[in-house]
């Protein structure tokens, strides 16, 4: 790996040397430009040639690279940063969410019922109606009837008696099915106990009389989802193109896709052949597909060291579920469900085995862990794997989310050099109700511990987990630096001592995001020789008053020196 990095440096040096005597393709000027380069933190202008940065500094110096063909791009006083990196999301899931029922902004069960009713009127007989984004803890009120705070399917079944409906929870770790969908899956009062015994790491939620409520969590979701026909190639490609456009409109130039299968990879290769891949993709292989992993172990990682557009070198695992569905695996019982500790989604010996195989075959392992028990178990197994493979000197294993960590484990991220892939927006969305799950003490000592992790020397990479949350990086940046909800409460923020500084938040979305994918030497900062990926904002996000921060818009997105998005107000 070090030889590869040295070769990249030499390549960049040659590119810069060759282009210094040629006119730049474009020069960006007349704005505040934050570089995330400690040696040169703010510059007046940036010159680009052949997709690379060839000069960054004072305007007179940079303008020396201008020629008759150079495009002079006036930033009009706006603020430019390195291109933002979405360090944990689901690319096709984001695109598909744009094509199905988008429930992220719903505020009541009744609103969802109305959306499904309208969809049922439009649907063909027997056609599945699917959507994602509901979250019962974010509604204005708990619907009646309800069980454990979750809705019950009856109203859903009434408005769509003939069309099966499955609506995934915002977290992706639960779903709500109507009666028709459960009938297709063979779920009823007589079968539910048998099916529950067959489910490993999930729950079919039943009411006090033993009737299925329609809510399925974690691995139990497969009882329904396995019955839903896969989208055809045309719909998948539409979802892909929609996801690309969403990235561009939100200033995202690189995207870490957290879990793909062979079908997804084939689609991405088609997009590359068609010239439609216009976001840098770093892909995690789905860890629950044994044949897929075996295939990739045999051939090794695919690392794009030429265009840096498509890399496959990591594996995605799930240790537990989500806090919202009470699937996060805890050391102590849930405050609002005595005797319940959450779900183990993947056996720990499997996580250890795949960690060992990853180290042997050059793959980074990235494990979803939200509860404190899950984080501890994953760290334990990573540590065992590292001890067994001391030859793997820079594995950069990650824990995805790291949402709730026991205080005794906080320092282990830095000690083991495990990256914390955290999504600050989850704190903003979840903190008001998460205290019901964990209680006051656990929330304050172990939840969303950004500053404690950073002070210990750990690396945090930021993102949104789209489509769990909208991909909007401004909302996530706001949450990072204020610890408030998007409504601006509470005053001073939740556990304000854990908020990030603006420098830390910017770095988590740029240079540290690049580090999380082994690419810090080619992107993540505005520095000579690096890729010319930029995000241009309407306001100075490093200085504007926090009360106005959410008013910031993405004005332009630049990938490899070329504009891929421009706001109509630019």
Residues 477 and 543: their CA atoms lie apart, in Å, by 13
Residues 35 and 41: their CA atoms lie apart, in Å, by 5
Residues 562 and 423: their CA atoms lie apart, in Å, by 28
Residues 466 and 344: their CA atoms lie apart, in Å, by 23
Residues 58 and 30: their CA atoms lie apart, in Å, by 11
Closest by alpha carbon to 40, among 28, 58, 54? 58
Structurally, at CATH architecture level, domain 1-83+524-570 sits in: Roll (2.30)
- Scored b (16 or more CB within 10 A) or e, 449-476 reads bbbbbbeeebbbbbbbbbbbbbbbbbbb
Residue 18: per-residue pLDDT = 42
Write out the H or E segment, with its range, that includes residue 503: helix 502-508
Residues 132 and 150: their CA atoms lie apart, in Å, by 15
- Outline where DSSP puts E strands in 141-211: 146-147, 150-151, 165-169, 174-177, 202-206
Residue 178: per-residue pLDDT = 96
Could you please report the per-residue DSSP string of 79-133? EEEEPEEEEEE-HHHHHHHTTSEE-TT--SHHHHHHHHHHHHHHSPTT--EEEEE
Could you please report the per-residue DSSP string of 225-294? HTTSPPPPHHHHHHHHHHHHHHHHHTTEEEEEEEEE-HHHHHHHHHHHHHT---SEEEEEEETT-HHHHH
Residue 457: per-residue pLDDT = 98
Start-to-end C-alpha separation, the chain: 42
Residue 17: per-residue pLDDT = 42
Residues 239 and 237: their CA atoms lie apart, in Å, by 5
Residue 232 C-beta-side C-alpha neighbours within 13 Å = 1
Residue 105: per-residue pLDDT = 87
Q: Is beta strand 150-151 parallel, antiparallel or unpaired with respect to 146-147?
A: antiparallel
Do the beta carbons of residue 109 and residue 139 sit within 8 Å? yes
Residues 374 and 328: their CA atoms lie apart, in Å, by 8
Residues 484 and 498: their CA atoms lie apart, in Å, by 12
Radius of gyration of the chain (CA): 24
Phi/psi at 317 (5° precision): -120, 160
Per-residue pLDDT of the chain (570 residues; tens, 9 = 90+): 444 444 444 444 444 444 446 899 999 999 999 999 999 999 999 999 999 999 999 999 999 999 999 999 999 999 999 999 999 999 999 999 889 999 988 999 999 999 999 999 999 999 999 999 998 888 988 888 899 889 999 999 999 999 999 999 988 889 999 999 999 999 999 999 999 988 888 999 999 999 999 999 999 999 999 999 988 999 999 999 999 999 999 999 999 999 999 999 999 999 999 999 999 999 999 999 999 999 999 999 999 999 999 999 999 999 999 998 899 999 999 999 999 999 999 999 999 999 999 999 999 999 999 999 999 999 999 999 999 999 999 999 999 999 999 999 999 999 999 999 999 999 999 999 999 999 999 999 999 999 999 999 999 999 999 999 999 999 999 999 999 999 999 999 999 999 999 999 999 999 999 999 999 999 999 999 999 999 999 999 999 999 999 999 999 999 999 999 999 999
Residue 6: per-residue pLDDT = 46
Write out the H or E segment, with its range, that includes residue 461: strand 460-461
3-state secondary structure of 375: helix
Residues 550 and 485: their CA atoms lie apart, in Å, by 11
Put residue 182 in one of left, alpha, beta given phi > 0 → left and psi -120 to 50 → alpha. Answer: alpha
How is domain 91-225 classified at the CATH fold level?
Answer: Diaminopimelate Epimerase; Chain A, domain 1 (3.10.310)
3-state secondary structure of 364: strand
3-state secondary structure of 309: coil
Do the beta carbons of residue 274 and residue 250 sit within 8 Å? no
3-state secondary structure of 223: helix
Q: How far is the CA of 162 from the CAs of 118, 123, 154, 196, 303, in angstroms?
A: 14, 10, 13, 26, 48
Phi/psi at 146 (5° precision): -145, 165
Residues 210 and 409: their CA atoms lie apart, in Å, by 39
Domain ranges of the chain: 1-83+524-570, 91-225
Handedness of CA 48, 50, 52, 54 (dihedral sign): negative
């Amino acid at each position: 790996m070090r030889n590869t990095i040295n070769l990249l440096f030499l390549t960049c040096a040659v590119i810069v040397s060759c282009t210094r005597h040629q006119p730049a393709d474009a020069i960006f000027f007349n704005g505040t430009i934050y570089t995330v380069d400690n040696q040169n933190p703010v510059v007046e202008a940036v010159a680009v040639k052949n997709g690379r940065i060839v000069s960054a500094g004072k305007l007179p110096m940079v303008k020396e690279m201008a020629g008759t063909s150079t495009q002079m791009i006036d930033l009009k006083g706006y603020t430019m940063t390195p291109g933002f990196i979405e360090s944990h999301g689901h690319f096709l899931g984001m695109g598909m969410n744009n094509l199905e029922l988008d429930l992220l902004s719903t505020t009541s069960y009744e609103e969802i019922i109305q959306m499904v009713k309208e969809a049922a009127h439009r649907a063909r007989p027997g056609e599945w109606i699917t959507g994602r984004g509901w979250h019962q803890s974010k509604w204005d009120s708990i619907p009646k009837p309800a069980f454990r705070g979750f809705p019950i399917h009856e109203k859903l079944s009434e408005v769509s008696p003939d069309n099966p409906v499955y609506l995934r929870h915002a977290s992706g770790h639960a779903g709500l099915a109507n009666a028709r969908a459960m009938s297709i899956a063979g779920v009823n009062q007589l079968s539910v106990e048998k099916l529950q015994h067959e489910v490993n790491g999930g729950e079919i939620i039943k009411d006090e009389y033993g009737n299925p409520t329609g809510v399925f969590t974690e691995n139990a979701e497969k009882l329904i989802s396995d019955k839903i026909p896969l989208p055809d190639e045309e719909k998948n490609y539409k979802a892909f193109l929609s996801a690309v456009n969403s990235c561009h409109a939100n200033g995202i130039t690189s995207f870490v896709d957290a879990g793909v299968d062979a079908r997804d990879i084939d689609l991405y290769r088609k997009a590359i052949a068609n010239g439609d891949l216009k976001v840098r993709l770093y892909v995690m292989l789905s860890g629950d597909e044994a044949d897929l992993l075996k295939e990739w172990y045999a051939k090794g990682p695919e690392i794009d060291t030429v265009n840096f557009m498509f890399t496959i070198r990591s594996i995605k695992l799930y240790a537990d579920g989500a806090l919202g569905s009470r699937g996060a695996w805890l050391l102590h019982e849930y405050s609002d469900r005595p005797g319940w500790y959450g779900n183990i989604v993947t056996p720990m010996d499997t996580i250890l085995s795949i960690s060992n195989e990853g180290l042997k075959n050059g793959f980074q392992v990235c494990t979803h862990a939200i509860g404190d028990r899950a984080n501890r178990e994953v760290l334990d197994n990573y540590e065992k794997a590292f001890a067994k493979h001391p030859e793997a000197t820079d594995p950069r294993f990650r824990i995805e989310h790291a949402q709730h960590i026991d205080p005794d484990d906080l320092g282990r991220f830095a000690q083991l050099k495990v990256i914390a892939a955290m999504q600050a927006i989850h704190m903003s969305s979840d903190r008001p109700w998460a205290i019901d799950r964990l209680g006051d003490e656990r929330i304050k000592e172990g939840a969303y511990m950004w500053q404690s992790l950073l002070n210990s020397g750990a690396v945090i990479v930021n993102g949104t987990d789209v489509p769990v949350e909208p991909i909007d990086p401004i909302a996530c940046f706001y949450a990072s630096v204020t610890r408030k909800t998007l409504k601006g409460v509470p005053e001073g923020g939740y556990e304000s001592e854990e908020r990030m500084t603006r420098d830390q938040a910017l770095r988590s979305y740029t240079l540290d995001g690049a580090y999380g994918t082994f690419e810090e030497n080619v992107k993540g900062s505005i520095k000579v020789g690096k890729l010319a990926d930029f995000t241009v904002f309407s306001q100075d996000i490093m200085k504007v008053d926090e009360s106005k921060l959410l008013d910031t818009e993405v004005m332009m997105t630049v990938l490899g020196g070329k504009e891929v998005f421009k706001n109509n107000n630019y």
